[in-house]
Amino acid sequence: MSNEQLPKKIDPLKLINHEVSLTGTINLEDMTRLNACIEGGDPLVQADLSFYRDGQRFRVIEGSCSAKVSLVCQRCLEPTDVSLDAEFALAVVTDDEWAKKLPKRYDALILEESPILLAEVVEDELLLCLPSVPKHTHECDIANLDFENPKLETEAKPNPFEVLAELKKK
């Protein structure tokens, strides 16, 4: 893939009408929602996008994207590197009614305004690739983890029958 920086904003309808293909990178820092979920990663996201009309005249954005990010392993709580790879086919529509009529092979991209932020489109696809439980590919060495065993602190509670025992003695 190319290291050429992709534009921040695109007009998808114009790109579809001209059947444009884009290949390049997007800055990871432009993806605020994804950044909130990760610990870090490669600063560049690779993307390859094609804009066209299919045989049924649907306006389509088809592509793939990949990113290398660091997540917290849920076994050992140490960072682990994860590859996020997404392939997608989006049909550009103007409202929910059109979205309901799409063939199953397309996800809807409802175009409310144009131009749109390209990073948001790619970010949506990468968010769907995040593992629900990130973990190392190898077994974590949890034997070396320092788990704290909480000591149960028992307070000396007064025995409610102590008073009766004292009365009995008298």
Mapping DSSP onto H, E and C, the string for the chain reads: CCCCECCCEECHHHHHHCCCEEEEEEEHHHCHHHHCCCCEECCEEEEEEEEEECCCCCEEEEEEEEEEEEEECCCCCCEEEEEEEEEEEEEEECCHHHHHCCCCCCEEEECCCCCEEHHHHHHHHHHHHCCCCCCCCCCCCHHHCCCCCCCCCCCCCCCCCHHHHHHHHC
The tens-digit pLDDT sequence of the chain (170 residues) is: 567 888 899 899 999 999 999 999 999 888 889 888 888 878 889 999 999 998 888 899 999 999 998 898 888 888 888 899 999 999 988 888 888 888 889 888 888 887 889 999 999 999 999 888 888 877 776 655 555 655 666 677 778 788 888 888 87
The pTM of the full predicted model, rounded to 2 decimals, is 0.73
